Amino acid sequence: MYQAYKYGLTEADLYQTPWKDSAARNATLFEGLWRKEIDKKGVEKASVTKTIYKMVEARIIAVSIMNFILNVFALLRSAYFLRQLLELIQSPDASYEQQIVCLLLLAFCTTIRSQLMASAFSAASLAAIRARGGVLSAVFKKILNQQIQNTTIGELVNLCSNDGQRIYEAVLNAPFILSAIPAIFAAAYAVYLLGWWGIFGFAIFFAFTPIQMLLSSAVFKYRGKAIPITEERVKMMSEIVNAIKLVKMYAWEMPFARKIQKIRAMERSALKKSLLVQSVLSALPQLVPIFAAAFTFLAMTLTGYDITVTQAFVYISLLNSLRFPLGVMPYSLKALAEGVHACGRIKKVLTAEDEKMEMSKIKDDKNLVEIKNGYFGWQPQTDPARSGEEKKSMKSKAYGSMKLEINGKHSTNKPDKAELQPLVVANRNMARDDTVITLHNITLSLKRGKLLGVCGAVGSGKTCLIQAIFGMMRKRGGKISVDKRQNMAYVPQQAWIMNATVRENIIFGKPFDIKRYDTVVKACALLSDFQQLAAGDQTEVGERGINLSGGQKQRISIARAVYSDADIILLDDPLSAVDALVGQHIFTQCLKGLLFGKTILFATHQLQFLTDCDYVLVMKDGKVAEEGRHEELMRQENGEYSNLIRSFHVVENEADLDTPPLDFSANHFPVQAETKAVEAYIGEDSQLKRMRFESMTSEGSEFTDDLDFSNLRRMSNDDAAQVIAGKLTRAEGMGEDKVRLVTYISYVKAAGGCLPTLIVFFLILVYLVVQAITNYWVSAWVGAGSGGTLVNQTMLINETEVVTLVLSERIIDNPNISYYQISYVVCIAGLIVATFLNALTYVMFCLRASTKLHDQIFRKLVASPMNFFDITPSGQILNRFSKDTDESQ
């Protein structure tokens, strides 16, 4: 703790996670139990909730036992030892030794209760972590193994974030539902202590439980209304951050700011009710014991029943000991209910049928991929909210009908039979569903070790053909065969780059082989790019490759596929982002050189490369229009392929075709379009301007000759070190700084200034004072006893009755009892008013502060330079507008 306070904690300071607590082990355990559950009860009756319980059953039972024991110790402390101590203090014959022993036993019960509570929460937290890790790992594995996703990205993200947290809270709080059981024993002891009036206070105590449950459901309801609005705001923020270049280019900051403020106002209105009810709900565990004791004492004194000081203090202590069960039970029930609902949603994912494409057996051993008369399509993503409206509209309107306005009158033309026919006609043998067919009657063979070129106009189906081979599309006719023993590599049209170093993007988890790596880098023309980067291939790539040009990202993507040493390589127009010279080099040195003997499907718009392909497929309107070798297809004068080639040569510059091959080594690589794009991106304000690889590696060269230190001087030491090391993004600092006074001042200003802050603090102080006065008034009332009232007492002395005046010990004999009763009622009423005023002002204070801070952060965010977005991951930015905003209100 001292190290965390003084120096902060890093990942290296934490101990290694035990194997029993790891996600891998718990995922395996959950999957095994889930398979047994399905085998025993079937898919429909299988329960994820029961599976999770079996997964952590031992810890749940242990936590329940500890929870029961700690509540028993709490009752033992209040019901027995406190009463014994008070009676010993009032007894003149009791010794100090007896009082000290009783006090030590009282402290022992308190200590044991605290230790058991800490152990119970620790064990429950560990069980919850195991359950969440195992379930989410299984869900994540299921999602990755599904070739065709039937759920949206938003649903999957909500499943892995919100529902995962609900499972954690359900497992954590479920064992504490049994905390209400010891309350039954406490009620029985209260009857023994005060007679049947003792049950009156506990009846009030238990009557607040359904009230708390209703308030919890109200919080859940209001929170449910706010969650979609919050998701809409975070979604809008994500779009703004991801498209910040366009926002700044078109000066759209203010329109987006107004839209965000409008959504935030709706969110604030929904959150206001939720937070107000939640604030009252949080105060009830403190108020209910006071109300129960107050009504019990008032009812007893008003009906003439007496109560002693010992009975009063023991009864109050007995009620206070049940604050924890009363406070935790509604939250436990709420968490358990939400967890059961989350398990239902998780079950839908786990039991979703994986629509794997039906594969046939390869007939020719020379082929790695075979498709015969294949029909493939996509399932359209529909909006559930609009589907109902569309169905209603379709009932009243025939497909293809239209309303024409003739001479100011509307006339509806009935559609003919041709208009009612579907736009896409599939094979009669195919099952009818909502699949939109995009590939028709495809027949091809991808032979082992051959280079298959695929060409065609935009939208002809080249990319869909590759997706069909991957199994990402739905097959609705024909046969497809893929050799599952072969590994595949894929290069998409839009290069996918992860936030890591250039080298990590290329090797992509494979073992690092320096000889193969150098060969791949040279074949993909990346050597000169390493010279342009601050730390060569150790330079960090920003999110979505923000600090790389389009050509650099595409070449890294190609290098990743080549380094993977896959058997089948699918290239989806990979040379579209590079210029002709670089494309010619990659095709010659990489596809025809380094990948010689590999099976390659090469989709491209650059037709000059098809002359060197072993076979060519021409796509048109989702069909194979022509196929054959280049020479064979060129003999067809009016063929689709020959027309494409002639059109290509008309627009092609003859001088570019006669350009001799260039040397793409590190010393002779020309400055091309990609390099210029990088230099344009770097700009005048960058510290990387004019930095060259030779200036850092050659002997006698000075790094200061090429590095622009005018910008480095304006940076902090950490930022300058990151620049020299090639580090682009900065890790988010967590727990490395204290909360300074200026932070509190900023929060106070955002909430409205000193006056609202003083009002909130004043009302909190009033609430605490009224609560203290209420507790003090009970002790003062009980301590006053009879108020010095003398009563007649008949005594038998020598068989003679003697009446004497003695001091009464009954509270009801106090002449000022009405004063005490009225004052107590006033204190209770004041406590209720103070509670609601405190809740209202505190909620308004926090909501106003969070809204003002949200707006300030947004304005400063959109006003930040692009360099800020380059070095700051979007996840860190979105956390400020989601999790941190939620915690500040």
Question: Quick check: 771 and 828 in contact, CB under 8 A?
Answer: no
Contacts of 135 (CB under 8 A, 6+ apart): 30, 48, 52, 164, 167, 346
At 488, give phi and psi (nearest 5°): -120, 150
Tell me what percent of the residues of the chain surpass a pLDDT of 70. Answer: 77
Three-state DSSP class for 397?
coil
Angle of helix 96-145 versus helix 48-55 axis, rounded to 10: 130
Rg over alpha carbons for the chain, rounded to the nearest Å, is 38
Identify residue 34 by its one-letter amino acid code: W
Whole-number Å distance between alpha carbons of 472 and 376: 10
H/E element, 870: helix 866-871
d(CA 15, CA 154): 34
H/E run at residue 654: helix 654-657
Average pLDDT over residues 519-544: 84
pLDDT digits (tens, 9 = 90+) for 363-406: 888 889 989 998 998 876 554 444 444 444 443 333 333 333 33
Distance CA 686, CA 716 (A): 14
164-166-169-171 Cα dihedral, nearest 10 degrees: -70
Distance CA 749, CA 31 (A): 52
Q: Which residues contact 17 (CB under 8 A, 6 or more apart)?
A: none
What is the structure's pLDDT at 765? 92
The pLDDT of residue 278 is 78
Give the separation between CA 148 and CA 631, rounded to whole angstroms: 39
Cα angle 678, 607, 632; round to 5: 160
How many Cβ atoms sit within 10 Å of the Cβ of residue 663?
10
Name, of 133-137, 195-199, 542-546, 835-839, the range with top average pLDDT.
133-137
Residue type, position 300, single letter: M
Backbone angles phi, psi at 307, to 5 degrees: -150, 135
Q: From CA 687, how far away is CA 693, in angstroms rounded?
A: 15
SS3 462: helix
Q: Calculate the alpha carbon distances from 438 to 429, 622, 767 in Å.
A: 17, 6, 69
Residue 517 CA to residue 350 CA, distance in Å, equals 40
Count of CA atoms in the C-beta half-sphere (13 A) of 841:
20
SS (H, E, C) 705-751: HCCCHHHHCCCCHHHHHHHHCCCCCCCCCCCCCCCCHHHHHHHHHHC
Nearest to 268 by CA among 884, 854, 851, 871: 851
Type of residue at 374: G
Asked if pLDDT for residue 149 goes beyond 80, the answer is no
Check residue 94 and give its pLDDT.
76
For the record, the structure tokens of 570 come out as 């699918």
CA distances in angstroms from 721 to 106, 604, 686, listed in the order given: 60, 43, 14
Of the chain, the end-to-end C-alpha distance in Å amounts to 28
How many other β-carbons are positioned within 10 Å of the β-carbon of residue 441?
A: 15
Query: What is the 8-class DSSP label of residue 538?
Result: G
Average pLDDT on 776-788 reads: 76
What does the alpha-carbon distance between residue 147 and residue 445 come to, in Å, rounded to a whole number?
Answer: 22
Could you tell me the two tokens for 18?
């035990």
pLDDT at 355: 63
State residue 151's pLDDT score.
Answer: 61
pLDDT of residue 1: 66
| Average pLDDT score, the chain | 76
Identify the CA nearest to 729 among candidates 414, 498, 559, 444: 498
Two structure tokens written together for 887: 């915690």
Neighbours of 530 (CB within 10 A): 17
* pLDDT at residue number 729: 57
Please work out, in degrees rounded to the nearest 5, the angle formed at the alpha carbon of residue 350 by the alpha carbons of 345 and 351: 95
Q: How many CA atoms lie within 13 A of 470 on its CB side?
A: 21
13-33: per-residue pLDDT in tens? 777 788 888 888 999 999 999
Q: Is the pLDDT of residue 853 over 70?
A: yes
pLDDT, tens digit, 9 for 90 and up, residues 432-452: 457 788 899 998 888 998 999
> Per mean pLDDT, which range of 258-262, 425-429, 571-575 is the poorest?
425-429
Chain segment 684-729, per-residue pLDDT in tens:
333 333 333 333 333 333 333 333 433 433 444 444 444 444 555 5
Q: Are 551 and 580 in contact (CB under 8 A)?
A: no
In DSSP terms, 601 is beta-bridged to: 452, 570
Q: Could you tell me if 60 and 126 are in contact, meaning their C-beta atoms sit under 8 angstroms apart?
A: no
SS3 assignment for 53-84: HHHCHHHHHHHHHHHHHHHHHHHHHHHHHHHH
Cβ atoms of residues 576 and 463 within 8 Å: no
Whether residue 614 contacts residue 599, with contact meaning beta carbons closer than 8 Å, is answered with no
Q: Which one has a higher pLDDT value, 248 or 672?
A: 248
Evaluated on CA atoms 871, 876, 880, 881, the torsion sign reads: positive
User: How many CB atoms are closer than 10 A to CB 239?
Assistant: 12
Nearest to 861 by CA among 872, 850, 848: 872
In three state form, how does the secondary structure of 553-620 look? HHHHHHHHHHHCCCCEEEEECCCCCCCHHHHHHHHHHHHHHHCCCCEEEEECCCHHHHHHCCEEEEEE
Token representation of residue 313: 């203090």
Q: Which of 707, 739, 741 is nearest to 723 (CA)?
A: 707
* Residue 576, phi then psi, degrees to nearest 5: -70, -25
91, 92, 95, 98: CA torsion to nearest 10 = 0
pLDDT in tens, 70-95: 888 888 887 778 778 877 877 777 78
Are 590 and 537 in contact, with CB atoms under 8 Å apart? Answer: no
- Rounded to an integer, what is the distance from CA 508 to the centroid of its chain? 25
The DSSP line for 468-493 is: HHHT-SEEEEEEEEE-TTS-EEEE-S
The rounded distance, in Å, linking the Cα atoms of 90 and 97 is 15
* 3-class DSSP assignment, residue 356: coil
Determine the Cα–Cα distance for residues 297 and 200; give it in Å rounded to an integer. Answer: 10
Could you tell me the CA-to-CA distances from 512 to 98, 502, 506, 515, 561 in Å, in that order?
76, 13, 10, 9, 14
Comparing 142-151, 546-555, 643-652, 747-756, the range with the smallest average pLDDT is 142-151
- Per-residue model confidence as pLDDT tens digits over 185-241: 888 888 888 888 888 888 887 787 788 778 877 877 887 787 778 778 877 888 888
Q: 92-138: per-residue pLDDT in tens?
A: 777 888 888 888 888 888 888 889 989 999 999 999 999 999 999 98
Position 157 confidence tier, pLDDT thresholds 50, 70, 90 = low
135 versus 150: the higher-pLDDT residue is: 135
Distance CA 385, CA 554 (A): 39
Give the per-residue pLDDT at 888.
53
What pLDDT does 671 receive? 35
